[in-house]
Every structure is written in C-alpha cells, then in structure tokens.
C-alpha cells in the first residue's frame, strides 16, 4: 500500500493549517479510509506523550496528537519526527522521534537538515506504506525563501511524496489573494505544479462578494480556489500557535460566575490543556500578563513553562509574583501545573545547567531539583480526599501526562510551626498547601477529563469525538468534490 498524500500548506503561521489538517483527517476517516497525520518538523511548546517504537515514552506536538485522534489512529512519534521546543528567542530543545537530542539541539539551524532528513523521509514512507491516506501539515510558509535550501518540512516533503498540496490563507486578516499569489509566485515551477488548490480560511461575510477574485487568481496561476471556510468560533480545538486570542473567553453568552486568570509568561507551555475552560458557560478565561488582570480573578493558574526560572523572573519584573501572593492571601484558588507547580515552591535548584536557579513564590514548602533527564510519561491519578475549596476533586480518577525536568519534594523543615502543614496528596504528583486554596501538580490534562470539568463547574464540555464529527461534516460542505 502506498498512501495518497494531501498536504496542507499556509501563507503564514496562524493561517489555520493545523485545524484544516485535523478536519481533513476526520473527513477521510469518515469516508472509511485508514488515515495518518504527518508533520516533519513542529516548533511548539505544546506537546503530548506517546509511545515510542522501543517501548519508551516520548513527545510529539499536540497538533499531530489531535490529528491522530481525528484520524482514528494511535498517536505515534513518526507522525511528528522532529519537535523543536523554544527555550529562548535563539535556542530550542530538539526532540527527535520523541526523545531529546542534545547534539541536534547544539547544532546550527541550517546544519540540522542533512542530519535529520533521511530519518524524516523514512518515517513518512513508513506511514505511507501502512495507510490509505496521509494528511501532511507544513510549517509557516513554503515561500520562506531564506530557508528553502534547508527545508525539511514544506516543499521538500511535498516533492518526496508527490503530495496534492492545498495552500491556506487567513482571509480575516486581509490581503488573502495577495498572500496566495505571492506565496505561489515565489516557488520554483516544479513546486508550483504541486499546488492543486487555494483555500480561504476564517471567512466572515457574504461569499458572493469574493468574485471575481478567485477566477482572476486562477487565471494567473492555474490554481482553483477549492474551498471557502467560514470563521469557526469556539470550534473546540486549541489554536495552533498558542495564545492566539488574548481576549480569552467571555462566558459563552451567559452571566460570568467564575473568572480564571492564566498567567501567560513568555515561555508558556502546554496551554492547549485549557481549551475546555474556554467553552464553559459562565466561565471567563483571561490570559494575564499584568497584576491588574488578576485583580478580579476567582482563580489564578500558573501553567507549564519551558523556562521556569526565566519565566519566574519575568513574573517578578511585572509584579505578578506579589499579585499571585495577594490572591492566595485573600483565600482565592491558585493552581500550579508542572512549571507552575515548581514556581509555587520555595526554591528551584539547578546543578546541571538545565533551567536555572531561582527563589520560588513561597506558597508551597517545596524544593525542586532539576535533573538532565526529562520525565516523560502518561499519568493516571486516583485522587484522594482533597480539602476545600478543591474538595469536588476528591475520589475522581483522572488521566493526563507528565513532561518535566526535575523532581520536587515537600520539605518539612520549611513548614515548622505552621498551623496547618502542606500535604503531599500523591507522591511526586500532587500537593496541597497548608492554606488549602493553593494546589500544585505535575500532571497536565486535568481539565481534559470530563469528570473534572463536571465536578468543578457542573457543566460538560463537548467531547473530541463530537468536535471531529462536526469538522468532518464541514469539510464535505466546504470542499465539495475538490478533494482527491
């Protein structure tokens, strides 16, 4: 078997490649095909834990994880062989087939392609051999001509498998026809021939007003506009590029009863796990970067971070450290997840140059010792009795995942004389403060458990299966018979 390959390219980041690719995975699955997603290289701090061929646990980008679920496939490291996790503006941790590769991490950007391309091609070919359809996602734009010679994620992939390429533009930003034409025009002729259709994404308004532009564009390029996808508000999946909409959510048309402020530090990671909160009626989510944005919050969440010590320093520069402390002193809920948990402690100790040393916020009597080895594993928690205000979590069985450097330990010497000592509710995974409104965990994905959402908010978020079914139905309406 050699699968047909459909590739989703974009005129820019944020055009909607990940979402369109996920929708296509769901649609081809609904047509009865065996489907797999593929993205050669993803740059993201949003990752999920999947099994590796040697029986270990590794990481792939969240987008490919969700695409696999939409395709009805078991997520596999081959679906995203290269994951770049930014640690600073000019430095990324390189994850190859799920595992951190220190040698590649230290290598210049352009030097990596010669090393990784044979393995990328091998992974793609294996997926092609095992499936009827492979839905491939590109990265950024294929017309980034400064990177064309070292490309391993866009047109080099398309040429390798002879992909049927769709070029997506975000028409809501304006200039979509120029973006499409300019991207196509910057490609060499042999790559222009692989572009089989233009897609206008995030359209609002009367589609009849688009004429005669699609025909004019086809006259210039020979490429038809094969779909016009309406703006999909609250579509149920995380945005591909992180905090895409700083407006957060506004309660879904109902009176707001709970305001949740998620601190959006520069190296925030795994924020995709909060997507269910954005869809809850009566719940307002704010991506907070200033103390003022915490003032009206009922909850404060410190999410994961790819650079915990640096992000903690950023919080102090903004005055957010004092704002979080005031929030906790007022008896309001504070939840730290992974890097956020580490920040809640007394100290971060780094003897190996992994992340950096820093004083914590001092809201939990914990010390984190960073280690070179990354802890990557799925998690299943049977929650014990949890004190108020988190008592609704007591007795729940939840699943999630861990991705972190370092181990965290409760220090009894740091709470001598405390009226109410902090508790380690689950060894190495869950802690609650002597001030019980403060809770910290290493486990990502709590809010993706329907039982947690129902226990805390009394509502049910749409399931992923429901989301994928809507997407598959939409593809049939938007593309008609224009898909191979």
Q: Which residues are catalytic?
A: 338, 444
Which residues, at least 6 apart from 126, have a Cβ–Cβ distance to it below 8 Å? 78
Could you identify the residue written with the tokens 């049927």?
A: 164
Which residues, at least 6 apart from 127, have a Cβ–Cβ distance to it below 8 Å? 3, 36, 38, 78, 79, 134
Q: Classify residue 319 by its DSSP letter.
A: T
| Lookup: tokens for 80 | 């995203």
| Lookup: tokens for 93 | 């941790």
Task: Please check whether residue 284 is in contact with residue 249, taking contact to mean a CB–CB distance below 8 angstroms.
Answer: yes
Alpha carbon 181 to chain centroid distance?
A: 30
What ranges in 260-370 are assigned the alpha helix state H? 275-278, 308-318, 320-329, 339-344
Return d(Cα 180, Cα 178) in angstroms, integer. Answer: 5
Render 63-110 in DSSP notation, one character per residue.
HHHHHHHHHT----GGGS-EEEEEEETTEEEEEETTEE-HHHHHS-GG
Could you identify the residue written with the tokens 């108020």?
A: 388
User: How far apart, in Å, do the first and last CA atoms of the chain sit?
Assistant: 17
Which residues, at least 6 apart from 207, have a Cβ–Cβ distance to it below 8 Å? 228
- Upper half-sphere CA count for residue 406 (Cβ side, 13 Å): 29
Count of residues making up the chain: 484
Strand partners for 403: 376
State the virtual CA torsion across 230, 44, 238, 227 in degrees, nearest 10: 20
| Lookup: tokens for 421 | 């000592």
Return d(Cα 126, Cα 130) in angstroms, integer. Answer: 6
Return d(Cα 7, Cα 44) in angstroms, integer. Answer: 20
| Lookup: tokens for 251 | 């309660």
- Upper half-sphere CA count for residue 105 (Cβ side, 13 Å): 17
């Amino acid at each position: 078997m050699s699968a047909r390959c459909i590739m989703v390219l974009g005129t820019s980041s944020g055009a909607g490649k990940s979402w369109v690719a996920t929708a296509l995975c769901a649609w081809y699955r609904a047509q009865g095909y065996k489907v797999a997603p593929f993205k050669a290289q993803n740059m993201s701090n949003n990752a999920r834990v999947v099994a590796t061929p040697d029986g270990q646990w590794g990481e792939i980008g969240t987008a490919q994880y969700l695409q696999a679920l939409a395709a009805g496939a078991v997520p596999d490291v081959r679906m995203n062989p290269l994951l770049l996790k930014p640690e600073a503006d000019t430095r990324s941790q390189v994850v190859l087939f799920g595992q951190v590769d220190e040698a590649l991490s230290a290598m210049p950007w352009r030097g990596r392609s010669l090393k990784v391309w044979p393995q990328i091609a091998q992974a793609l070919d294996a997926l092609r051999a095992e499936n009827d359809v492979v839905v491939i996602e590109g990265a950024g734009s294929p017309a980034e001509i400064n990177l064309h010679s070292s490309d391993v994620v866009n047109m080099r992939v398309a040429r390798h498998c002879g992909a049927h390429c769709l070029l997506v533009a975000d028409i809501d930003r304006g200039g979509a026809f120029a973006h499409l034409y300019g991207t196509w025009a910057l490609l060499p002729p042999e790559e222009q021939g692989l572009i089989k259709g233009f897609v206008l994404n995030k359209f609002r308004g009367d589609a009849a007003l688009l004429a005669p532009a699609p025909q004019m564009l086809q006259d210039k390029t020979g490429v038809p506009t094969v779909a016009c996808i309406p703006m999909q508000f609250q579509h149920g999946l995380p945005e591909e590029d992180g905090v895409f909409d700083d407006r957060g959510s506004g309660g879904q048309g109902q009176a707001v009863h709970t305001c949740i402020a998620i601190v959006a530090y520069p190296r925030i990671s795994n924020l995709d796990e909060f997507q269910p909160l954005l869809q809850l009626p009566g719940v307002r989510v704010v991506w907070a970067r200033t103390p003022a944005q915490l003032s009206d919050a009922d909850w404060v969440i410190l999410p994961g971070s790819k650079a915990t010590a640096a992000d903690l320093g950023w919080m102090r520069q903004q005055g957010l450290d004092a704002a979080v402390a005031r929030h906790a002193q007022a008896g309001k809920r504070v939840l730290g997840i992974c890097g956020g948990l580490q920040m809640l402690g007394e100290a971060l100790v780094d003897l190996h140059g992994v992340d950096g040393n820093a004083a914590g916020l001092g809201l939990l009597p914990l010390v984190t010792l960073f280690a070179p080895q990354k802890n990557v594993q799925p998690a299943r928690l049977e929650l014990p009795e949890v004190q108020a205000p988190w008592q609704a979590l007591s007795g729940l069985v939840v699943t999630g995942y861990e991705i972190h450097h370092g181990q965290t330990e409760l220090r009894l010497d740091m709470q001598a004389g405390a009226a109410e000592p902090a508790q380690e509710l689950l060894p190495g995974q869950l802690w609650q403060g002597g001030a019980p409104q403060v809770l910290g965990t290493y486990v990502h994905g709590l809010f993706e458990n329907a039982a947690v959402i129902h226990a805390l908010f009394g509502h049910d978020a749409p399931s992923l299966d429901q989301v994928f079914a809507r997407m598959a139905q939409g593809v049939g309406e938007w593309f008609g018979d224009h898909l191979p």
